[in-house]
Amino acid sequence: MNYTATPNLTVEFYAEPFVSSGRYSDVREISTTPGAAAYDARFQAYTAPAGTAMSFSYRQLKTNTVLRWEYRPGSTLFLVWAHGREAYTPDEQRRPWLEDLGQLFDLRADDTFLLKVSYWLNR
């Protein structure tokens, strides 16, 4: 989203939510005869060690907000706010995606602020 208040003052906002979950099933490994013609002869069923996670849930939110102010012709001030939230949870049961999306805001936030000032030297 971009908003131009005046030709010298603009605000830009970008958001990227991401939610994913999955469960591994019918996991296979290469057998002792990987060159065999039949699929079942090339790969055999894999039994995961006890305690191995066979499902997962991943949530992420990234946003950027940029305020640009051209205080003199060619001289600009940028104020940037980068915001992020992220969580990976092994062995979590699948849930409706709207529930996962709603839980994004319960995660710990990482915020970064940046100020950049440029000044045009006119001779």
- Reading the chain (123 residues) residue by residue, the pLDDT tens digits are 999 999 999 999 999 998 888 888 888 889 888 888 888 889 988 888 888 888 888 889 999 999 999 999 889 999 999 999 998 888 777 777 777 777 888 889 999 999 999 998 876
**CA separation for the pair 63, 18 (Å, rounded):** 11
Burial of 100 (0-12, 13-18, 19+ CB in 10 A): buried
**CA separation for the pair 66, 114 (Å, rounded):** 9
Is 30 a member of any domain?
Answer: no
Is 21 a member of any domain?
Answer: yes
DSSP character at residue 93 = P
In one letter, which amino acid is 79? L
Task: Provide the domain limits for residue 87.
Answer: 2-25+55-118
Is 41 a member of any domain?
Answer: no
Is 114 a member of any domain?
Answer: yes
Tally of structural domains, the chain: 1
**CA separation for the pair 15, 13 (Å, rounded):** 7
